[in-house]
Amino acid sequence: MVMKAFVKETSTVVAVPGVNCDTDQIIPGRFLKADRAQGYGQFLFHDIRRNEAGELDPAFPLNREGAERSTILLVEDNFGCGSSREGAVYALVDHGIRAVIGPSFGDIFFNNALKNGLVPVRLSGEQCDGLADYLARFPDAEVTVDLENSELVLPGNLGRHPIVIDAFARECILQGLDEIEMTFTYMEKIKAFETERMASHAWLAR
C-alpha cells in the first residue's frame, strides 16, 4: 500500500495498557497470510481486545465508543517487542493509527514503523504516566504530533517535547515516500554527479 504523507496530526489518544506488548499481541501470526490489500486493521490486537467468548471486550480501550476516531496511541514500555513481523505495523496503519507514543519500542518495530509512515514518539516513562493520568481525567483531550517541526504538543500543562527520529526517515514520512521513491527524487543530482565524475576521472570508464 502507498505510504501516506505525515506532516501534522492532531487527535484524541487511546491508551493501550501492557508492558512488553509484543508483535503477536498486536497481530496474531495466524492472520499474516491474509491479503494485505484487504487491510490488516481488522486484526489489530485481535485476541487481547476480545473476551473468552471471542466477543469484543467493552473494557478494552480500542473498543470504547469514539476510540475508532483516534489516530494516536499511548503505549507502555517495550511496545512492539518480539518477532520482526512487519504485519504489526501494517495492522496499526491499516486501522488508521498514525503515531504511537511510548517510553520505548522494540528496535525492529521502531524501524518498520518509520518505513511505513507510522511515527513512533519516545517520551519518558514519567511523562507517559502524566499523559495517561491526564487522559483518564480528560478523555477528549487532544495531542498534536507535529513532524514538520519535530515536536510533540501535549494537552494542559504537559508541555512540548522533541520528536527524535532519523532525519532521512523523517523526510520520507513528510513526503509520503519510501526509501526507493525518495532516492528517485535525487536522480538529477545523481546523474550530474556521475557526469562530472566521469569527466574528471575518465579512466573509470575504461
The confidence score (pLDDT) of residue 185 equals 77
The confidence score (pLDDT) of residue 205 equals 65
Q: Can you give the residue ranges of every domain in the chain?
A: 8-175, 178-206
Give the residue ranges of the chain where pLDDT is below 50. Answer: none
Superfamily of domain 8-175: Aconitase, domain 4 (3.20.19.10)
- Torsion, Cα 18 147 2 172, to 10 degrees, reads -120
109's grid cell: 518495530
137's grid cell: 481525567
CA 202 to CA 97: how far, in whole Å? 52
Spatial CA neighbour of 122 closest among 163, 79, 82: 163
The confidence score (pLDDT) of residue 199 equals 75
Burial class of residue 82 (count of CB atoms within 10 Å of its CB; 0-12, 13-18, 19+) = middle
pLDDT in tens, 59-110: 999 999 999 999 999 999 999 999 989 999 999 999 999 999 999 999 999 9
